[in-house]
Each structure stands twice: as C-alpha cells, then as structure tokens.
C-alpha cells in the first residue's frame, strides 16, 4: 500500500455542497472541515437531511464539491480526471450501501468475484473471494443467490465484496439500516474486526445508537455543519458485552 502524507486519508476544508433542482437550491453541506486518518472507525450521524450521504458521496468521488477543497488520499478530488476518480473508486475505496446492491442472478461467491474482475484482479480471484466471504462468516452461503439469504447475510456479502480487494477506505452509508439488532451487531462486529486486524479504515453513517457505540470517533452533522466531533478515549470493547 502506498503511503499518504501523515496517514491522512481525507482532508476537507470548508466543503460546501449545493444541489440545484427546479430552481430550488438545497445547501446540503455548509462548510465542513475535518481530517480523517488511516485506521479510523468513524461514524457520521445526524438527523435525516443533515448531509451524511452527501458527505460520503463526496469522499467517494461520486459527486463534486460546490466550494471548498476536498483531498482524498492526498489528491484534490476536483482536479482529478474522470478516469482517475474511477480508478480511485475501483482500487482504493470500498462501498457498502443501504440496499446491499448485490447482483440478484449471481451467487455470493460470484458477486465478490465479479467486483474483483472489474478491479482487474485475476490472480487467485476465487480464493480471494472465498477468503473475504470467510472473514464475514459466510462460507456456507457462498453458492447462494441474494434471494436465498437473509438481509443480514446479504449485507455481509456487500461488505465482503467491498473489502475483497483490500481497499484502504470503506464508505458505508447506513449499512445496518435494514437489519434487526442482532444482525446489526454481527455486521458491526465483523466490520470492527476488519478495522482492527486488517487496518481498513471505515467511515459509516447511521441513525442506530447500537451501531454508534462501535465507533471510535463520532461526527455529528446538523443542517450541513459539523455540530460535534467526538473521539472516544478508549476503544470500547463492544465484543465483551
């Protein structure tokens, strides 16, 4: 893995995002400044409409800032070419969305392999996919299609897919939104484990207080601004409850 200056993965300086729809301007982010360092396990929380998804989309180079400066892995996203942004999304980032986004006709194994294929990874593709599924406790479901799995299992496949190529940063937008408490706990345990053991940085948005408890740092957005940014003194050992 290439080193980034001071291990800073994300540097936002007075980032604003304005959406224009039907002559209405929505100020989704109103001057967000922060730094996110390699190894963090960070929750972005806040009321509906406060800008969580917008922030994750900007960091994921899926959308462009309106004003301000956003550097991801040492590069100013605004000055990257379309190709460079696509490369970064493919090779350095992992995405987990609320609605799983699995391919319905593919098995769990094939879903993971397909993304590795897109990433140009041909070597040991099948083993890598199996390893990722194994890390999410899903080996016995490798040959099942999404409709043959529970929501919790599907979301774990989505995480396996996001981490199979060992990205530096995984962005997860409300990963536990459709899960009951037990499945949310299993999912977060596994994400937390990947963070600790593999050093993968996670930024996830959530409304769920049980999920917030796993975070080592919590940024609260209110109306497009950072309201509070709290780093917990010690990593809460949520596994020992």
Ligand X SMILES: Nc1ncnc2c1ncn2[C@@H]1O[C@H](COP(=O)(O)OP(=O)(O)OP(=O)(O)O)[C@@H](O)[C@H]1O
* Residue ranges that bind ligand X, judged by CB under 6 A: 19, 21, 26, 28, 46, 48-54
> Which residues face 228 on adjacent strands?
220
Our CB check for Mg ion shows the closer of 52 and 185 to be 52
Minimum CB distance to ligand X, residue 66 (Å): 12
Characterize 124-141 residue by residue with b for buried, 16 or more Cβ atoms within 10 angstroms of its Cβ, and e for exposed: ebeebbbebbebbebeeb
Our CB check for ligand X shows the closer of 64 and 196 to be 64
Our CB check for ligand X shows the closer of 99 and 105 to be 99
Minimum CB distance to ligand X, residue 19 (Å): 3
183 makes contact, choosing from Mg ion, ligand X, none, with CB < 5 to 8 Å by partner type, with: none
Element (H, E) at 131: helix 125-135
Strands 169-173 and 67-72: unpaired
Our CB check for Mg ion shows the closer of 111 and 206 to be 206
Is the Cβ–Cβ distance between 92 and 23 less than 8 Å?
no
Check residue 176 for interaction with Mg ion (CB under 5 A). no
CA separation, residue 153 to residues 141, 191, 230 (Å): 8, 13, 31
How far is it, in rounded angstroms, from Cα 237 to Cα 235?
6
150 makes contact, choosing from Mg ion, ligand X, none, with CB < 5 to 8 Å by partner type, with: none
147 makes contact, choosing from Mg ion, ligand X, none, with CB < 5 to 8 Å by partner type, with: none
- Angle in degrees, 0-180, between the axes of helices 125-135 and 108-118, rounded to the nearest 10: 120
How far is it, in rounded angstroms, from Cα 159 to Cα 204?
12
Our CB check for Mg ion shows the closer of 18 and 90 to be 18
How far is it, in rounded angstroms, from Cα 212 to Cα 232?
11
165 makes contact, choosing from ligand X, Mg ion, none, with CB < 5 to 8 Å by partner type, with: none
Our CB check for ligand X shows the closer of 133 and 211 to be 211
Our CB check for ligand X shows the closer of 5 and 21 to be 21
How far is it, in rounded angstroms, from Cα 170 to Cα 162?
7
Minimum CB distance to ligand X, residue 46 (Å): 6
79 makes contact, choosing from ligand X, Mg ion, none, with CB < 5 to 8 Å by partner type, with: none
Report DSSP state, residue 195.
Answer: H
CB-neighbour burial class of residue 90 (10 A; exposed 0-12, middle 13-18, buried 19+): middle
Helix (H, G, I), strand (E, B) or coil at 89: helix
19 makes contact, choosing from Mg ion, ligand X, none, with CB < 5 to 8 Å by partner type, with: ligand X
Minimum CB distance to ligand X, residue 33 (Å): 17
148 makes contact, choosing from ligand X, Mg ion, none, with CB < 5 to 8 Å by partner type, with: none
Check residue 53 for interaction with Mg ion (CB under 5 A). yes
Q: Given the rule CB under 5 A, which residues bind Mg ion?
A: 52-53
């Amino acid at each position: 893995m290439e080193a980034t200056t001071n291990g800073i993965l994300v540097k936002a300086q007075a980032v604003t995002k304005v959406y224009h729809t039907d002559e209405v301007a929505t100020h989704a982010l109103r001057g967000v400044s922060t730094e996110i360092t390699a190894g963090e396990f960070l929750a972005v929380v806040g009321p509906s409409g406060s800008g969580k998804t917008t922030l994750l989309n900007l960091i994921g180079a899926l959308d462009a800032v309106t004003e301000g400066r956003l550097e991801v892995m040492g590069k100013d996203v605004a000055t990257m070419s379309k190709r460079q942004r696509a490369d970064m999304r493919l090779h350095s980032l992992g995405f987990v969305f609320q609605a799983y986004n699995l391919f319905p006709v593919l098995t769990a194994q094939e879903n993971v392999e397909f993304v590795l294929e897109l990433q140009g990874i041909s070597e040991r593709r099948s083993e890598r996919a199996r390893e990722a599924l194994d890390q999410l406790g899903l080996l016995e479901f490798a040959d099942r299609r999404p409709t043959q799995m529970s929501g919790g299992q599907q979301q774990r496949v989505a995480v396996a897919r996001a981490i199979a190529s060992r990205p530096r940063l995984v962005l997860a937008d409300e990963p536990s939104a459709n899960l009951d408490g037990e499945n949310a706990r299993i999912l977060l345990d596994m994400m937390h484990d990947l963070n600790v053991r593999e050093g993968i940085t996670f930024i996830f948005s959530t409304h769920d207080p049980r999920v917030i408890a796993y975070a080592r740092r919590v940024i609260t957005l209110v109306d497009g601004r950072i309201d509070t940014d709290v780093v917990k003194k010690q990593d809460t050992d949520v596994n020992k409850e």
